[in-house]
Amino acid sequence: MEQELKTEATRKLICETAFKKFYKNGFKATSVNDIMKATGLSKGAFYHNFKNKDELGVLVVKAELNTRIYEAMVTPLYAEGEAKAILKKTFLNKFEAFTSDEKLMGCPVNNLVNEIGGSKNLLNQALKELIDTWVNAVVEIIERGHKDGSIKPETNPHETAIYLVSSFEGMRGIRKLYTNDISWNAYRGALEKYLDQL
């Protein structure tokens, strides 16, 4: 039991460290040596726990990125109340909560999608599953809105969900190019208007 706890703690440390390194420097630019140096553990500890960096990347997506997306953008959509108000609150609250550093660094999910997307590996699959989960949660809240009358019946749930997720992530990527919030605030205004008219 003690060895299992030690192994789990080691994997958690490597995963959390890798997330920070991938977010700051990118997945491809971060080596196993970079990660292990930051943890203070040996390279042997890495290969005792992971076959390769891709396997670690999948764990980062499932443990770190899933948690971030679930807490901020999925779980709030299942709250009680009027569907449109919940949808609006979820997107706008998260948009307003980003720190200056997060604006400059972009979204860790989006960064990884742009770097890895299109490859035929388990990391790409894990990212697709994460985005699908978010999109499906938005589809469900729109369908709830049809039932409670807060969202127009002609609003297509899947099209709207894809648009909301992709525009939100797109703005996070675009914001990395600027040193001010002019475009950021313009998008926020447009997002609120779009949500209001659903």
Q: Are residues 115 and 21 in the same domain?
A: no
pLDDT at 3 over 80: no
Task: Specify the CATH number for the domain of residue 35.
Answer: 1.10.10
Domain boundary among 50, 68, 87: 50
Task: Please name which of 156, 104, 164 lies closest in space to residue 131, comparing C-alpha atoms.
Answer: 164
Full domain range(s) for residue 25: 1-50
Q: Is there a single domain that holds both residue 46 and residue 97? A: no
Domain count, the chain: 2
Could you give the percent of the chain with pLDDT greater than 90?
A: 81
Give the CA angle between residues 81, 135, 52 to the nearest 5°: 130
128/142 Cα distance (integer angstroms) = 21
DSSP 96-121: HH--HHHHHH--HHHHHHHHHTT--S
Whether residues 79 and 42 fall in one domain: no
Task: Give pLDDT, residue 118.
Answer: 76
Residue 165 identity: V
Per-residue buried b or exposed e for 34-66, using 16+ beta carbons within 10 Å of the residue's own CB: ebbebbebeeebbeebbeebbebbbbbbeebbb
pLDDT in tens, 18-63: 999 999 999 999 999 999 999 999 888 999 999 999 999 999 999 9
Mean pLDDT of 161-185: 95
pLDDT for the residue numbered 93: 95
| Whole-angstrom distance, CA of residue 193 vs CA of residue 182 | 17
**Distance, CA of 138 to CA of 77 (rounded, Å):** 7
Any idea what DSSP says for residue 41?
-
The residues, ordered by sequence, that sit 6+ positions from 135 with a Cβ below 8 Å of its Cβ are 158, 161, 162, 165
pLDDT greater than 80 at residue 101 = yes
